[in-house]
Amino acid sequence: MKLNGQPTRVLLLLLLLVALTWSWPGQTLAAALRIVGSSTDLTAIAKEIGKDRVTVYSPFPGSQEPELWVEEVFPSWIVKASRADMYIRIGLFADVWAEALIADARNPRIDPGGLGYVDASEGVRVLEVPSGTVSRSLGEIHIQGNPHYLLDPLNAKIVADNILRSLVAISPEDAAFFEANAADFKRRIDEAIPKWLDMAAPLRGMKLAAYHKTWSYFMDRFGLDVVGYVEPKPGIEPSPQDIRNLTAAMVRAKADLIIHAPVYNPKLPKAVARQVSEQLGSPVQVLKLPAHVGGVREVKSYFDLFPYVIGALLEARN
């Protein structure tokens, strides 16, 4: 049989490529490991370690707050989790919805205790762990402590190690690759932190208010002082007395800035700012700050987050 024409030659070339791919000894088409994480920060760090050998997905954009989600999980999330090689949780009861997601996925790789199950909070020095009796009257408090630990960049090294252990367990043949990338990530964190501390030096001791206890780790690392919260009981609308208390605290401290993450409505912060401004006789700003990778367009990576937040605070201070 005689074969003529360009289409036939293209077909033969394609068949040859397929044959070579499947016939070389030890040759395989390596599929990227599929990672689902409860936040964009977690998936960003996983991508730093896995590079092109992983694909990552988070159910929420960086402008949202995973700990606030109380609804059912969506079918599209379940499909992603059912195919995942790894699931990375925030932990500390911040992503309780992930328990239902993992259960509905029916994927033993990511079940608790599985090679692909990661609690990223493991080993983190947790702030604001409640003591005494905890009740619903206190609001949706962080019952195992504050889960916003990745707003201290030093904790990213701990999270990277937690992710690395799982990656190596899942794909030991790629261990050297993952270990080198994790070491490089931690080296860059170590190099960046002194620069970020120097950048934030003018902010040390600055007094301000915040909507929610999102920023405790950031304030602890960089030396700022939150004098009060718009939402003193998480998840509960502040009372008129709460607003009066916050206003008084800001006036006493001469605090002229209220910060909030993108997920929170600025209406109440602006109302408080007007009251404080009237009493101080000077302007009070309300500033939206990203709390996660992707929280604003400019923050495309974990290393973008801290310069952006520090820079915005410096601009507000000036």
Report yes or no on 134 lying in a domain: no
DSSP assignment of 136-195 equals GGG-S--TTS---GGGSTTHHHHHHHHHHHHHHHH-GGGHHHHHHHHHHHHHHHHHHHHH
Q: Are residues 176 and 263 in the same domain?
A: no
DSSP alpha helix (H) spans, the chain: 6-23, 40-50, 75-82, 97-105, 155-170, 175-200, 216-222, 240-253, 267-280, 302-317
Report yes or no on 229 lying in a domain: yes
The CATH number linked to 263 is 3.40.50.1980
Q: Are residues 163 and 82 in the same domain?
A: yes
Q: Are residues 104 and 49 in the same domain?
A: yes
pTM for this one?
0.87
Q: Are residues 188 and 74 in the same domain?
A: yes
Q: Are residues 148 and 277 in the same domain?
A: no
Predicted confidence at residue 232, as pLDDT, reads: 86
Predicted confidence at residue 303, as pLDDT, reads: 98
Q: Are residues 160 and 209 in the same domain?
A: no
As a whole number of angstroms, the distance between CA 165 and CA 243 comes to 46
Each of the 318 residues of the chain gets a pLDDT tens digit; together they read 343 444 444 333 333 333 333 332 333 346 899 999 999 999 999 999 999 999 999 999 999 999 888 778 999 999 999 999 999 999 999 999 999 999 999 999 999 999 999 999 999 999 999 886 665 555 566 778 999 999 999 999 999 999 999 999 999 999 999 999 999 999 999 999 999 999 999 999 999 999 999 999 999 999 999 999 999 887 788 999 999 999 999 999 999 999 999 999 999 999 999 999 999 999 999 999 999 999 999 999 999 999 999 999 999 998
Q: Are residues 219 and 286 in the same domain?
A: yes
Token couple for 314: 């410096």
Predicted confidence at residue 72, as pLDDT, reads: 87
Q: Beta partners for 288?
A: 260
Handedness of CA 152, 153, 154, 158 (dihedral sign): positive
Report yes or no on 14 lying in a domain: no
Range of the domain at 104: 33-128+140-193
Q: Are residues 167 and 285 in the same domain?
A: no
Predicted confidence at residue 57, as pLDDT, reads: 98
Q: Are residues 175 and 253 in the same domain?
A: no
Q: Are residues 144 and 240 in the same domain?
A: no
Q: Are residues 40 and 66 in the same domain?
A: yes
Hey, is 283 helix, strand or coil?
Answer: coil
Predicted confidence at residue 17, as pLDDT, reads: 38
Domain count, the chain: 2
Predicted confidence at residue 139, as pLDDT, reads: 52
Predicted confidence at residue 141, as pLDDT, reads: 65
Q: Are residues 254 and 164 in the same domain?
A: no
